[in-house]
């Protein structure tokens, strides 16, 4: 029987397209650098040949050299234009991820930087009359420096600025960002169908890529887990409002790992993270991001058991201490039974003697239903259970 699933989910993907303005920008940079290199190559080559006292066939060598310089400039200009466009994309992503108050702060900071640099530019103009290269360089440095200082000052007092009042940082919007582990776990489908998980759900593209990587793993167990996660996404997409990849630009890839990028994305979107990863849970909480942990939900739904309450369990295996037996409730809670080793495989009533809460859940200590008298005698004698 083949392990291939009957249907593979087809997650939403953006079409890869190159905007016409980007192509024009790259082409303009390539042409400009090509012309610049072509014009500079001739005088530069003539200067070099004159310094080296080379006269033979100098004129015939200049034209091919200028053409070669133009081709080199075309390549350099295209690469530089493309790199500049990538920087512009990053700036756009950072700008989109900034709150409205942050955008106002940056805009005012740049404006104050321009105003503060004007007196210095007039002063330098009187010193460097006609030196336009020096003035242009000084203008760029002064405007950039004063703008950075202004933005820093405004950011340091942003809590009292009027445009930041009433806009709490990381305002929640009800969106649930799904982690890789919670998708593979599969319980998210039942929780969503029960109505305990409200609001739209979002699956980042890098989480989907990680699922696909796991599904293509040569390890059969990992491959099965990855395919189960893809099936879970297919079920969620069929029954609920599931968005995929559309907001990834708010957390661009900075080679900082899936968990760190997931936290940055949740902060930028004002979303909650749904996970069962203990470490991700801690990191997100430290950064004031709400986390919905399915393991915590499962633990909170376990029934409360009180001392002296009677339970019926099956003793499955031996305990760590001599004479102890271990059984489990229907929800997976461990029950340690005194003198239960002699009743392995039996289904019998036990009386709860102690309940201990641990980080992983509850652990129940009990004794056989007929051992009440012996337990009372031990308490009177001050003998503790090992």
Class of domain 310-381: mainly beta
Whether 157 contacts 200, CB under 8 Å? no
The alpha-helical segments, DSSP class H, found in the chain are: 20-51, 58-97, 100-127, 132-156, 180-185, 187-193, 205-215, 220-239, 258-269, 278-286, 294-300, 372-381
Is residue 10 over pLDDT 50? no
| Predicted pLDDT of residue 227 | 92
| Predicted pLDDT of residue 21 | 62
List, for residues 13-69, the tens digit of each pLDDT value: 333 344 676 677 677 777 777 777 777 776 776 666 666 655 545 555 566 777 777
| Predicted pLDDT of residue 214 | 92
Taking alpha carbons only, the member of 92, 82, 10, 75 closest to residue 37 is 75
List, for residues 199-240, the tens digit of each pLDDT value: 889 999 899 999 999 999 899 899 999 999 999 999 988 888
Interacting residues of 170 by C-beta distance below 8 A, sequence separation 6+: 267, 270, 288, 289
Strands of the sheet with 347-358, listed across from one edge: 310-314, 347-358, 361-368, 334-338, 325-328, 317-318
| Predicted pLDDT of residue 264 | 87
Residue 241's CB is within 10 A of a number of other CB atoms, namely: 10
Global pTM value:
0.47
Domain at 176-300, CATH from 2.40.30.110, 3.40.50.1010, 3.20.20.80, 2.60.40.420:
3.40.50.1010
253: phi then psi, degrees, rounded to nearest 5: -70, 120
Domain spans in the chain, listed from the N-terminal domain onward:
20-164, 176-300, 310-381
| Neighbouring C-alpha atoms within 13 Å toward the C-beta of 50 | 6
Q: Which two tokens stand for residue 243?
A: 């968005």
Lowest-pLDDT range, 162-166, 312-316, 340-344?
162-166
Between 12 and 299, where is the model more confident? 299
| Predicted pLDDT of residue 53 | 54
List, for residues 141-174, the tens digit of each pLDDT value: 888 888 888 888 887 776 677 776 554 444 567 8
Stretch 342-353: mean pLDDT: 87
């Amino acid at each position: 029987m083949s392990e291939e699933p009957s249907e593979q989910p087809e997650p939403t993907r953006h079409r890869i397209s190159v905007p016409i303005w980007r192509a024009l920008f790259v082409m303009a940079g390539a042409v400009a650098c090509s012309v610049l290199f072509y014009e500079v190559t001739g005088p530069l080559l003539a200067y070099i040949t004159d310094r080296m006292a080379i006269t033979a066939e100098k004129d015939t060598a200049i034209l091919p050299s200028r053409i070669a310089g133009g081709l080199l400039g075309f390549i350099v200009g295209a690469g530089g234009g493309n790199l500049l466009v990538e920087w512009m994309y990053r700036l756009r992503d950072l700008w989109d991820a900034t709150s409205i108050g942050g955008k106002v702060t940056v805009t005012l900071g740049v404006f104050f930087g321009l105003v503060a640099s004007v007196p210095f530019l007039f002063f330098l103009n009187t010193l460097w009359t006609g030196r336009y290269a020096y003035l242009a360089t000084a203008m760029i440095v002064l405007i950039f420096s004063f703008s950075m200082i202004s933005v820093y000052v405004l950011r340091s007092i942003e809590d009292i600025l009027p445009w930041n009042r009433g806009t709490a940082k990381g305002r929640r919007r009800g969106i649930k960002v799904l982690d890789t582990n919670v998708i593979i776990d599969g319980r998210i489908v039942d929780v969503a169908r029960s109505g305990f998980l409200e609001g739209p759900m979002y699956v980042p593209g890098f989480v989907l890529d990680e699922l696909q990587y796991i599904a293509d793993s040569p390890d059969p167990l990992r491959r099965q887990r990855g395919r189960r996660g893809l099936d879970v996404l297919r079920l969620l997409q069929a029954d609920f409002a599931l968005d995929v990849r559309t907001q990834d630009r708010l957390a661009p890839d900075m080679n900082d790992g899936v968990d760190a990028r997931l936290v940055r994305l949740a902060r930028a979107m004002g979303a909650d993270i749904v996970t069962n990863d203990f470490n991700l849970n801690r990191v997100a909480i430290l950064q004031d991001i709400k986390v919905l942990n399915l393991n915590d939900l499962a633990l909170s739904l376990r029934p409360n058991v009180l001392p002296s309450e009677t339970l019926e369990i099956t003793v499955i295996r031996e305990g760590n201490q001599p004479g102890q037996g271990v059984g489990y409730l229907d929800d997976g809670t461990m029950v340690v039974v005194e003198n239960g080793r002699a009743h392995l495989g039996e289904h019998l009533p036990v009386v709860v003697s102690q309940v201990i809460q641990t980080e992983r859940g509850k652990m129940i200590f009990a004794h056989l239903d007929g051992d009440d008298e012996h337990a009372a005698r031990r308490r009177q004698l001050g003998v503790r259970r090992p």
